[in-house]
Amino acid sequence: MRQHSVLLLGMSRSVRFFEIIQILRQAKEPVTAKMLAEQLEVNIRTIYRDIASLQASKLPIEGEAGIGYIMRTGLDLPPLMFSQEELEAIVVGLSMLGRSADSGLIHAATSVASKISNVLPENSIVTTPHQVSQWNQIPASHVQPEELRRIIREEAEIDILYLDLQDVTTQRVIKPIALFYYIDVIVLVAWCTLREGFRHFRIDRIQNYEITGNIFTDEGNQLRRDWEILQKQ
C-alpha cells in the first residue's frame, strides 16, 4: 500500500462547504438539513456543524434546524483560474477514474468535467490532447465502493465477514478510513478492533457487512494520520 496508489478519503470539509454554499445560492426556497445531508451523502449532524461553521464565518446563511436554510443575496465566490497545464492534469485525473470500477466516482467525474467546461472558453477542455485507457482487472464485489465511501464519510463502524487469501473466513468489527484504488483490486484501509491495529481488506473478499450503529465521529482524520505515519516507517 505505497505511494504509487491513489488514496481517496471522501469529500473534504472545505469541498463540502463549497457545495453547501452552491446549493443554497441556487435554491428558490429554504433547504432543510435533511435535503443537504442526502445530496452530500453525510449525516444530518455533519450538516448542522457545517452550517454553524459557515454562519460563524459571517456567511449570510439564515434559518434553523427543522425549518430550512437560505442564502441571502450578495455573496459571490471567486472564480477558479486554471493554467493549460492544470487543465490537462484535471482532464487526465478525471479520466483515470474510469479505471476505478466505482460508478459513483465515474459519474462524479463526468459532472465535474461538465461544470469546468461550462465556464471555460469553448472546447478548451475537450481538445486537451491526452487520453487515458479505461482498462482494469478489478473483480466484482459483494459490496460497492460507493457504499464504503459513504461509510468512511460518516465514520461508521461496520461488522464484516471477510474471506482472506488462504480462504479462511473471519468476522471483524472495523473502522473504515480510506480506499486504495489499484488497477487490479480495491483495498479498504481500516482500524481492526479484533487485531487492535490497521488492516487492509480487498473489497472483493468482503462477503457481507452490517453497520453496527457505533460512530467514531471526528476520529477518522487522526486514524488516517496515524496510518500514514506507519506507512513511512
Asked if residue 7 has pLDDT above 50, the reply is: no
CATH code of the domain made up of 145-232: 2.30.30
Asked if residue 9 has pLDDT above 50, the reply is: no
How many Å apart are CA 111 and CA 103, to the nearest integer? 12
CB 161 within 8 A of CB 208: yes
CATH topology of domain 13-71: Arc Repressor Mutant, subunit A (1.10.10)
Asked if residue 4 has pLDDT above 50, the reply is: no
Q: Mean pLDDT over residues 164-193, rounded?
A: 94
User: Which pLDDT belongs to residue 5?
Assistant: 36
Q: What is the pTM of this model?
A: 0.63
CB 152 within 8 A of CB 124: no
- Per-residue pLDDT band at 228 (split at 50, 70, 90): very high
The 3-state DSSP class for residue 104 equals helix
Please report which residue ranges of the chain form alpha helices under DSSP H. 13-26, 33-40, 44-56, 84-96, 103-118, 145-154, 220-232
User: Which pLDDT belongs to residue 74?
Assistant: 60
Convert the pLDDT of each residue in 86-133 to its tens digit. Answer: 777 888 888 888 888 898 898 888 888 777 776 665 545 545 566 777
- Per-residue pLDDT band at 172 (split at 50, 70, 90): very high
CATH 1.10.10.10 location in the chain = 13-71
User: Which pLDDT belongs to residue 162?
Assistant: 97
CB 175 within 8 A of CB 190: yes
Q: What percent of the chain has pLDDT over 90?
A: 41
Convert the pLDDT of each residue in 15-60 to its tens digit. Answer: 788 888 888 888 888 999 999 999 888 899 999 999 998 888 878 8
Convert the pLDDT of each residue in 133-164 to its tens digit. Answer: 777 888 889 999 999 999 999 999 999 999 99
Asked if residue 78 has pLDDT above 70, the reply is: no
CATH 2.30.30 location in the chain = 145-232
User: Which pLDDT belongs to residue 190?
Assistant: 97
Cα distances from 98 to residues 106, 115, 147, in angstroms, run: 6, 18, 18
The 3-state DSSP class for residue 110 equals helix
User: Which pLDDT belongs to residue 99?
Assistant: 87
User: Which pLDDT belongs to residue 1?
Assistant: 39
